[in-house]
Amino acid sequence: MSSAAAGQASSSSSSPASQFRYDVFLSFRGSDTRYGFVSHLYNALKEKGVSTFKDDQKLERGKLISPEILRVIELSRFSIVVFSKDYASSPWCLEELQIIIQCMEHENKSHTVIPVFYSVDPSDVGEVRNSYAASFAQHEVDFPDDAEMLRNWKAALKKAAELSGWDSRHKEEPALIQEIVEDVVNKLGRRFSNKPSGLVGIERRIKDVELLLSTGLVDVRVVGIWGMAGIGKSVLAEAVYHHISHKFDACCILKNVRDVAEKRGLDHLRRKLLSALIAEDGLRILDKNLDVLMRGRLRNKCILVVLDDVSNVNQLTSLAGDRDWFGPGSRIIITSKDKHLLEQHEVDSVYEAKPLSESESLQLFCQHAFKKRSRMQEFMGLSRSVVNYARGLPLALQVLGSSLFNMDRGDWESKLKVLEEFPPQDIVQILRQSFDVLDRSEKNIFLDVACFFKGEDEEYVVSILEGCGSSARYGLKVLLLKSLITIQDNKVWMHDLLQQMAWEVVRQESLHEVGMRSRLWNHLDVFDVLVQNTGTKDVESIVLDLSKVQENMSLKGGAFHKMNRLRLLKVCYPHHSGGSEYVLNKEPSLDIDENRGNDAQLSGKFKPLVRKLESLRVIDTTTEGSSRLHMASKLTALSNELRSLHWHGYPFESLPANFYPRNLVEFNLSFSSLKNLWRGNKVFDKMKYMK
């Protein structure tokens, strides 16, 4: 063995177990066993999910082992060496064996050698007798100046023969193969069952994805796994990968594609992919050859690739651009938070990763929060509260379970109280990644939904936001495809933790001055801003839930004076917080009691867009409940930028004299004390909702 090869084997074999690429490296003499015993052993290992390398390349082999094979040995946990009668006749095999023994004897002891004596006496191998002696007699002729090399080869044979192994002379071949495979599986310490350890609810999801993959077909198929951050896309993809990887010639998982591409570039990922799939050290793949290698070296291999957390089209075109890059039967699994990206790549199917059920959530949470079953029963009520908060998000269940492990009841109760307003930062950071990639308009729509429109009718939301100048319909579609909102029964929703993440984004705008934040939704914050008159031009939306106000609010007339960019204002009780009852179409139709002079009474449903409201007054309006809002003086200002004015129980008899919101889309002052609206001509071309 050359000193360079020996040194490389010694230094590289120190890789930790987590960096092994293969479970087993098969060393054998091809002419003796390739199409019989070794082929059957290889297939049996693959059927058990054991990642196995078998060198099938028909290379012109000389004395020196190729760097490619050297690297594969170093990256394998086990070497199964099949000693056949003609094994020692191959200098390549003997060189390979010496490297294998070198890796085994390395100080970290991470490489295990399993000898199989196939139709040969182990003593013939160790003592170099019979056919082995004949082979070495020929080597002495072929390599007269390499006596040290021959001694090293003999030493490697002796060490291998002394190891515990298998003798084919004492068993039928099928039984022998079965025992070898079972031995490897036991040594690996893996169960190779259909149920990955510790993954709750994964079995059904694996089966669903496998159905989409249709691994029995010979086409090249691409399947996307789509869902919000923290929903378990990566875990599911990896579980599927380990469940079916034995069916493929070569496999690779590229984790965190988005992060790695940003930090190290796409060429790094391409080299890593090629290195895994063609068993070649990535550092030796030249950048100038990447395109040729991607298009040429994989087309005859049935491969399995997982591209995890893909975020843009360039990543897909670089790593899995065309299906004809890969051999028949190949499968590509892509995980992404962006469904539109998967559709652009024309994947065959998209699997939506959905939240865990309540029972699955409880099971996953308890795995992380408890070690003792008795303690789990004691905290079951509080556990259900946490599960309800997490809303089936595995990330949250794991983080919260771990944070509450071994805590007492008081700690749990305190944590739950904090969670009502502030989600854990490690959850926020992961969820926020989806927000940060949005453009400015999409971010504003997302924040508006989180702080103002959650649970509202989709068309209502679109109408109000388009009145604000947003391309709302397109923006909502983008948010939907990026798993940031959902549309259910024509209403706009988002996961509670995404909403809390949005709230945290707004809080960061001004940590200490609430009146300088763009959106206010917390009743205590709104109370302070209005009562203390600390609102600024930064405030764009306000929601005040009157049912949460526990004390009377005495407002000054100028409470809204500084908030001249306020677009959305909602002061209401929860059961009156939905979209307005009356939808206005194109033609005006107001019922006015002409006998009352300037006192115009609203009596009936408003149908059209309101073109002109001249000297309009509202009288005899009933009130419902008692508002805790009280005004110390007449309201003197409201923003003319308002698109939605929804004030349940508005406490004044008139609107501010200078209030003329030309772009108003919704006007809802139900159960108010209002008597006078406006005097003079007022044009509201965008008005759609009035109540």
Give whichever of 35-44, 103-112, 398-407 has the largest mean pLDDT: 398-407
Q: What is the pTM of this model?
A: 0.68
> Which structural domain range is residue 559 located in?
511-691
What does the pLDDT look like over 147-187, one tens digit per residue? Answer: 999 999 999 999 999 998 899 888 888 889 988 988 887 77
* Short-list 669, 666, 670, CA closest to 468: 666
Those residues whose C-beta lies under 8 Å from the C-beta of residue 317, and which sit 6 or more positions away, are none
What does the pLDDT look like over 600-620, one tens digit per residue? Answer: 333 333 434 344 444 344 433
Strand partners, 78: 24, 112
Strand partners, 301: none
Give the whole-angstrom CA distance, residue 115 versus residue 168.
11
Same domain, 498 and 516: no
Instruction: Compute CA distances 198 → 89, 203, 308, 366, 394, whole Å.
Output: 49, 11, 21, 11, 12
Same domain, 502 and 380: no
Question: Which pLDDT score is estimated for 250?
Answer: 81
* Boundary of a domain, candidates 508, 538, 558: 508
Read off the pLDDT band of 284 (50, 70, 90): low
Instruction: Report the residue count for the chain.
Output: 691
Residue 540 in this model has a pLDDT that exceeds 80: yes
**Contact indicator for 658, 678 with CB cutoff of 8 Å:** no
Residue 4: how many CB atoms within 10 A of its CB?
11
What's the whole-number mean pLDDT along residues 70-97?
91
Q: Which residue has the higher pLDDT, 471 or 676?
A: 471
* Short-list 394, 517, 495, CA closest to 450: 495
CATH of the domain at 290: 3.40.50.300
Residue 197 covered by a domain: no
Write phi, then psi, for 279 (nearest 5 degrees): 55, 45
Question: Which pLDDT score is estimated for 511?
Answer: 93
Give the whole-angstrom CA distance, residue 80 versus residue 113.
6
Q: Could you tell me what percent of the chain has a pLDDT over 90? A: 53
Greatest alpha-carbon span in the chain: 127
Give the whole-angstrom CA distance, residue 361 versus residue 383.
10
* Short-list 515, 438, 502, CA closest to 470: 438
Angle of CA points 90, 95, 99, to nearest 5°? 145
Number of domains in the chain: 5
CATH of the domain at 451: 1.10.10.10
Same domain, 390 and 489: no
Read off the pLDDT band of 682 (50, 70, 90): confident
CATH of the domain at 131: 3.40.50.10140
Same domain, 234 and 271: yes
Those residues whose C-beta lies under 8 Å from the C-beta of residue 509, and which sit 6 or more positions away, are 516, 517, 518, 538
Question: Which pLDDT score is estimated for 385?
Answer: 94
Least trusted range by pLDDT, from 204-208, 425-429, 437-441, 601-605:
601-605
Give the whole-angstrom CA distance, residue 614 versus residue 185.
86
Write phi, then psi, for 59 (nearest 5 degrees): -95, 155
* Boundary of a domain, candidates 188, 218, 246: 188
Helix or strand holding residue 417 (H, E): helix 409-419
Give the whole-angstrom CA distance, residue 399 versus residue 427.
8
Same domain, 80 and 161: yes
Sign, Cα dihedral of 614, 672, 656, 637: negative
Question: Which pLDDT score is estimated for 369?
Answer: 92
Residue 414 covered by a domain: no
How does DSSP classify residue 157? Answer: H
Question: Which pLDDT score is estimated for 579?
Answer: 42
Question: Which pLDDT score is estimated for 622?
Answer: 41
* Short-list 239, 248, 252, 231, CA closest to 206: 239
Active-site choice (95, 96, 458, 666) = 96
Question: Which pLDDT score is estimated for 46?
Answer: 80
Least trusted range by pLDDT, from 283-287, 390-394, 457-461:
283-287
Give the whole-angstrom CA distance, residue 459 versus residue 567.
18
* Boundary of a domain, candidates 161, 188, 215: 188
Q: Which residue has the higher pLDDT, 625 or 116?
A: 116
Give the whole-angstrom CA distance, residue 501 versus residue 378.
31
What does the pLDDT look like over 321-370, one tens digit per residue? Answer: 888 889 999 999 999 999 999 999 999 999 999 999 999 999 999 999 98
Question: Which pLDDT score is estimated for 279?
Answer: 56
What's the whole-number mean pLDDT along residues 406-425?
91
Helix or strand holding residue 427 (H, E): helix 425-436
Residue 165 covered by a domain: yes
Q: Could you tell me what percent of the chain has a pLDDT over 70? A: 83
Which amino acid is it at 199? L
**Contact indicator for 508, 499 with CB cutoff of 8 Å:** no
Same domain, 57 and 160: yes
Residue 8 in this model has a pLDDT that exceeds 90: no
What's the chain's average pLDDT?
Answer: 83
Same domain, 681 and 641: yes
Question: Which pLDDT score is estimated for 554?
Answer: 76
Strand partners, 223: 333, 349
What single string gives the DSSP state of each residue in 99-141? HHHHHHTSTT---EEEEEE-SS-HHHHHTT-THHHHHHHHHHH
Read off the pLDDT band of 254 (50, 70, 90): very high
Same domain, 215 and 333: yes
Question: Which pLDDT score is estimated for 178?
Answer: 87
Q: Which residue has the higher pLDDT, 289 or 226?
A: 226
Question: Which pLDDT score is estimated for 4?
Answer: 35
Residue 195 covered by a domain: no
Question: Which pLDDT score is estimated for 7?
Answer: 38
* Short-list 310, 296, 242, 255, CA closest to 49: 242
Question: Which pLDDT score is estimated for 197?
Answer: 56
Question: Which pLDDT score is estimated for 109?
Answer: 62
Q: Judge whether 352 counts as a catalytic residue.
A: no
Residue 411 covered by a domain: no
Reading the block at residue 558, the tokens are: 């100028």
What's the whole-number mean pLDDT along residues 199-214?
91
Residue 400 covered by a domain: yes
What's the whole-number mean pLDDT along residues 657-685?
84
**Contact indicator for 568, 595 with CB cutoff of 8 Å:** no
Same domain, 124 and 217: no
Residue with tokens 């001055």: 513
Residue 416 covered by a domain: no
Same domain, 130 and 273: no
- Beta pairing class for 76-83 and 22-27: parallel
Residue 391 covered by a domain: yes
Same domain, 516 and 504: no
Residue 572 in this model has a pLDDT that exceeds 50: yes
Give whichever of 212-221, 228-237, 265-274, 319-328 has the largest mean pLDDT: 228-237
Question: Which pLDDT score is estimated for 108?
Answer: 61
User: CA neighbours within 13 Å on the CB side: how many for 39?
Assistant: 8
Read off the pLDDT band of 24 (50, 70, 90): very high
Strand partners, 99: none
Find the radius of gyration of the CA atoms of the chain. Answer: 36
Give the whole-angstrom CA distance, residue 349 versus residue 314.
20
Residue 623 in this model has a pLDDT that exceeds 60: no
Sign, Cα dihedral of 287, 289, 295, 298: negative
Same domain, 337 and 372: no
Question: Which pLDDT score is estimated for 288?
Answer: 60
